[in-house]
Structures are given as structure tokens and as C-alpha cells.
Amino acid sequence: EPEVTQTPSHQVTQMGQEVILRCVPISNHLYFYWYRQILGQKVEFLVSFYNNEISEKSEIFDDQFSVERPDGSNFTLKIRSTKLEDSAMYFCASSTSGANVLTFGAGSRLTVL
Amino acid sequence: AQSVTQPDIHITVSEGASLELRCNYSYGATPYLFWYVQSPGQGLQLLLKYFSGDTLVQGIKGFEAEFKRSQSSFNLRKPSVHWSDAAEYFCAVGPSGGSYIPTFGRGTSLIVHP
């Protein structure tokens, strides 16, 4: 069964460092998403991406965050200068259309020290 | 804007017992409703979804959920829990029109005792 893969599974970084989380969505999917879950809190929407541009973003997704689809397969989330409060599990997801079921990856756990 | 409440952070059941996980939502119209499960080290896997029609929805792994508009609820049930059902369960609500971005609850952790 096709799946969304995410790397790394766990990353530890120092505050102020740049982090890039990588995702390989399902090959025929057109919509891509990033969510995050701070420990013990809700899974929160960050951003959706379609046709090589951001289609929606939440208030969490500020100037420190960016997304990119650098080639035909990868979808990345960059955090420019990490803060302690960026520590969370980050989930990538993809879907065939904007009104369809999302398929999620296993997540990347980011720990900022 | 839509929101989801999962009032139980942890639920503990014995293997073979029945299970009900609660989910309440807030949304102005009829929503799309989902239950996802996350096993350790795995991604969020869709258990079942409700878009319209029959309010009792069957999903994978023997789970079902019932949409009750009057109670704004979409509780997940299973008649007999197996040890492998131990996982984190997430309820989500999505708008039924326009841009589709599901909103998730905080999750309920299911612990299964032998």
C-alpha cells in the first residue's frame, strides 16, 4: 500500500539552528500538508500546498516556517531559527484532492534544546 | 471555525471488553468526520469516515462510529478490544464545502490490559 515517508524520525537541535524536515508524499497525490503536535496537545494544522504554492496556512505558520517542493517527489518543511516551543512531532500528509482523505506519514519528532 | 474535543486523555480497558471513545465537535453545518489511529512508530491511519448518509459508519479493524447531530458527537466503538488496539486515537472534523482542512482533537490514548 502506498505510504507517506518522513525523515528524519527524530532530530535534536540547538535553539536558533535551522531544521529541514523531509517528506515523500504518495506519488499521484496533488495536495500536501504539514501538521504538528506538541506533546500532550492537539494535532494542529500548519500549512497546505498545491500546485507549487501555499494554499492555506494557520497563524502558527509564521515567517520562521517555509515549505518547498524542490523536485517531483520531496516536500520539505524548513524552520529557519528554531525555538524551544518548536519542539513537537511534525506530520506530513498528502491527498489526491483538496476534499479527500489525508494519508499521513509516521512523523518527525523535533527536539529543540 | 470548526473544533474537536476528545474529553478523555487516557482510557484503560481489559482485553475483550467493549470500548467507546468520545468525540464532540463544533461546526456550523454538517461536517466531515474522521477517526484516525496512531500505533507507536506509525503514521496516522484512517479508521473510518462520515461524509453523509447512514449515521452508523463501519471502519477497519472492527471499529464503528455513530454520528449524532443532536449531540454533536461522533463516538468510536468496538465491541471487543484486542491487545493490538492499544494506540493513540484521534478524532477529526473537516468542513463539508470549500477548502478542506481537517481539524484534529488532542487524541485519546488507549491502554489495553491482558
Q: What is the DSSP string of B12-78?
A: EEETTS-EEE--EEE-SSPPEEEEEEE-TT---EEEEEE-SS-SEEE-GGG-EEEEEGGGTEEEEEE
Q: What is the pLDDT of residue A54?
A: 94
Q: Does B34 sit within 8 Å of A101, measured CB to CB?
A: yes
pLDDT in tens, A31-87: 999 999 998 888 899 999 998 999 999 999 999 999 999 887 899 999 999 999 999
Helix (H, G, I), strand (E, B) or coil at A87: coil
Q: What is the pLDDT of residue A5?
A: 94
For A104, the closest of B43, B101, B105 (CB atoms) is: B43
B 35-64: CB under 8 A from A: 36, 41-46, 49
Return the residue in B36, B100, B103, B108 with the most chain A beta carbons within 10 A, the one to mutate for interface testing.
B100
Is the pLDDT score of B3 beyond 60?
yes
Q: What is the pLDDT of residue B98?
A: 57
Which residues from chain B sit within 8 angstroms of residue A99, using beta carbons? 100
Reading the block at residue B67, the C-alpha cell is 454520528
Q: Does A104 sit within 8 Å of B36, measured CB to CB?
A: yes
Q: What is the pLDDT of residue B63?
A: 97
pLDDT in tens, B35-67: 999 988 778 899 999 988 899 999 999 999 999
Separation CA A43–CA B103 (nearest Å): 8
Average pLDDT score over residue span A84-103: 88
For B101, the closest of A37, A48, A100 (CB atoms) is: A48
Separation CA A82–CA A88 (nearest Å): 11
Q: Does A42 sit within 8 Å of B105, measured CB to CB?
A: yes
Q: What is the pLDDT of residue B57?
A: 96
Separation CA A34–CA A91 (nearest Å): 6
Reading the block at residue A75, the C-alpha cell is 516536500
Q: What is the pLDDT of residue B97?
A: 58
Q: Does A55 sit within 8 Å of B43, measured CB to CB?
A: no
Average pLDDT score over residue span A2-23: 95
Q: What is the pLDDT of residue B41?
A: 75
The pLDDT-based confidence of A112 (bands split at 50, 70, 90) is: very high
Q: What is the pLDDT of residue B48?
A: 95
Average pLDDT taken over every residue of chain B: 91
Reading the block at residue A2, the C-alpha cell is 502506498
Q: Does A55 sit within 8 Å of B99, measured CB to CB?
A: yes
Strands A65-68, A53-57: pairing kind: unpaired
Burial-class residue B19 by CB neighbours within 10 Å (0-12, 13-18, 19+): middle
The pLDDT-based confidence of A99 (bands split at 50, 70, 90) is: low
Q: What is the pLDDT of residue A1?
A: 74
